[in-house]
Amino acid sequence: MAKHEFKAESQKLLDMVIHSIYSQREIFLRELISNASDAIDKIYYKALTDDALTFDQSNYYIKLIPNKEKRTLTVVDTGIGMTKEELEDNLGVIAKSGSHTFKSENEIKDGHDIIGQFGVGFYAAFMVADKVTVLTKSIDSEEGYQWVSQGSDGYTITPIDREEVGTEIILEIKENEEEDNYDTFLEEATLKQIVKKYSDFIRYPIKMDVTESKLKEGTEDEYEDVIEEQTLNTMVPIWKKNKSELTDEDYTNFYQEKRYGFDQPLRHIHINVDGAVRYNAILFIPEQTPFNYYSREYEKGLELYSNGVLIMEKCADLLPDYFSFVKGMVDSEDLSLNISREMLQHDRQLKIIAKNIHKKIKQQLLSLLRDEREKYETFFKALGQQIKFGVYSDFGQHKEELQDLLLFYSSTEKKLVTLEEYVSRMPEDQKYIYYASGDSNERIEKLPQTEIVADKGYEILYFTDEVDEFAIKMLMQYQDKEFRSVSSGDLGIEADEKEEEKEETESHNELFTAMKEVLGDKVKDVRASKRLKSHPVVLSADGDISLEMEKIINAMPD
């Protein structure tokens, strides 16, 4: 039986591309620029095997030409151009990617420079244009061609006179509609912004004649419009540069340019991985709590690039919540993108990258703690709470990973200390890691409950954050030492203490019974205590929940 080929209903397909694939209209420019960059790359690859061709990078560029009068935006490239057949195959058939074919035909395995793969990006032009004209001449053809389409009604191809190899795509920009502002795509400022956002790291210059108002020569307050050709993109991404060529200042500039924060980052992490999944990343540990950090509006995530083209502004999967303050970007050639190139197809590669990144962030924080204690304390004061939440969250899954990043104020050291430091100072007879909770260090210091522990010469950690005790309850122990609240019933200090207390209580039975009657429900018991030194009474918690924690728990809605 004869097999029939599926026929795609081009018009419907085109409608889909125009209306459903992309979430944002401005993406059309990213797609056209990516195609232009691919076209230049193809000359580069051709030159590698064709002796008659030389590739001088400086001859190749992309140029944007907005024209408000004519309502056109033209994207010019000096790339490989298209033959008549290529125009028919690549622009006449939706979902046919000449770039994909080029990669496989030329066996460019790490054809990672070439961006195109799905064969739909070009049609994004119809999101903003009523009519698209392509003028092109292929490096392999004597003749130039013009391809014209108004979208759904098909296209025409006619020969034209054209000298130079390369392609020019002329978009006739739609008229504004009620809520849709298309005029903006004729504005220099908008175009600059879109290029910066998505195409900043395209390897070839993206140029535009920019009109700027400048002080007239010889005058002090007269301005004139000056037109000058500017390159809009940075081209070489900092993350592809050699670490040894970069200074701290370069990274800080990048941080500020990218508006990751208004502070000075405490540390940067520059990662180049050439393993199972290849990627580059630059991450920052901020000095201050990021803007809006503790509000619902705050979105964690790293910028995600594929081949230097921005795919996602905030890829949340790359950061665990407890490191949600980290800023930066990841660029990988190995991501499987979905058709809109706005999302990922599989997250296997992403998972590997994420895991790797967690490790690096932790290492950096530990090294900051080790080598630049003051900076670490700055960090911890701003963001330590997040680490504590991390210990507590997900049923303590990450506690081992995070415990060494914790700092608490110490009664004996009078400064922030790590658990490791605490344990290393513990005298042999000390059974537990002691802590006391309260509103402030000053208040905790005055707590009668701390007295007996302090008298023994033991160090006490002061918990002033509500989350502290929850985190510690999740940890349970550190280096086999259990945590114990100073208000706990059993401090493990003297074995015979309990016996003596019992005798004392019995001998003052009458007094205690009277007190209990007066206090009623407010207390469970009144008894003699061996813990007090200078204070007459102490409130003590039953079991191992401290008074502070009881307060928090009682304040929680049922």
Annotated binding site for ATP: 31, 35, 77, 82, 90, 96-98, 117-122, 167, 341
**Cβ at position 39, least distance to ligand ADP in Å:** 3
Which residue's CB atom is positioned nearest to ligand ADP? 98
**Least gap, CB of 112 to ligand ADP (angstroms):** 14
When binding is defined by CB under 5 A, the residue of 35, 393, 411, 487 that contacts Mg ion is: 35
Closest to Mg ion by CB, 91 or 475: 91
Instruction: Tell me which of 99, 349, 393, 450 binds ligand ADP, using CB under 6 A.
Output: 99
What distances in angstroms separate CA 132 from CA 18, 163, 169, 430, 509, one per listed residue? 13, 21, 7, 80, 98
118 in contact with ligand ADP (CB under 6 A): yes
Query: Could you tell me the smallest distance in angstroms from the CB atom of residue 109 to ligand ADP?
Result: 18
CB 437 within 8 A of CB 488: no
The answer to whether residue 120 forms part of the interface with ligand ADP (CB under 6 A) is: yes
Residue among 26 and 77 whose Cβ is closer to ligand ADP? 77
Q: How far is CA 466 from CA 46, 378, 432, 550, in A?
A: 64, 20, 21, 11
Please give the Cα distance from 272 to 279 (Å, whole number): 6
Q: Under 8 Å CB-to-CB from 501, ≥6 apart: which residues?
A: 527, 528, 529, 530
Size of the site for Mg ion (CB under 5 A): 3
Q: How far is CA 433 from the centre of its chain?
A: 37
Segments in 263-412 forming alpha helices (H): 348-371, 373-392, 399-402
20-39 binders of ligand ADP (CB under 6 A): 31, 35-36, 39
- From the list ligand ADP, Mg ion, none, pick the one residue 307 interacts with, judged by a Cβ distance below 5 to 8 Å according to partner type: none
Amino acid at 114: I
| Sole residue written with tokens 């993206």 | 206
- We find the least distance from the C-beta atom of residue 76 to ligand ADP, in angstroms, to be 9
CB neighbourhood size of 180 (10 A): 12
| Binders in 37-56 for ligand ADP, by CB under 6 A | 39
Q: In sequence order, what E strands does 438-554 have?
A: 460-463, 477-478, 481-485
- The answer to whether the Cα torsion of 37, 40, 44, 49 is positive or negative is positive
Q: Which two tokens stand for residue 91?
A: 């622009």
CB-nearer residue toward ligand ADP: 88 or 497: 88
The minimum distance between CB 102 and ligand ADP, in angstroms, equals 7
Amino acid at 435: Y
- Token pair of 38, please? 């691919």
SS3 431: coil
Under rule CB under 6 A, residue 98 binds ligand ADP: yes
- Binding flag, residue 113, ligand ADP (CB under 6 A): no
Taking the C-alpha atoms of residue 393 and residue 385, their distance in angstroms, rounded to an integer, is: 12
Binding-site member from 79, 81, 121, 166 for Mg ion (CB under 5 A): 121
CB of 277 to ligand ADP, least distance (A): 22
Interaction between residue 144 and Mg ion (CB under 5 A): no
The residues of the shown chain that bind ligand ADP, judged by CB under 6 A, are 31, 35-36, 39, 77, 79-80, 82, 90-91, 97-100, 116-122, 167
The residues of the shown chain that bind Mg ion, judged by CB under 5 A, are 35, 116, 121
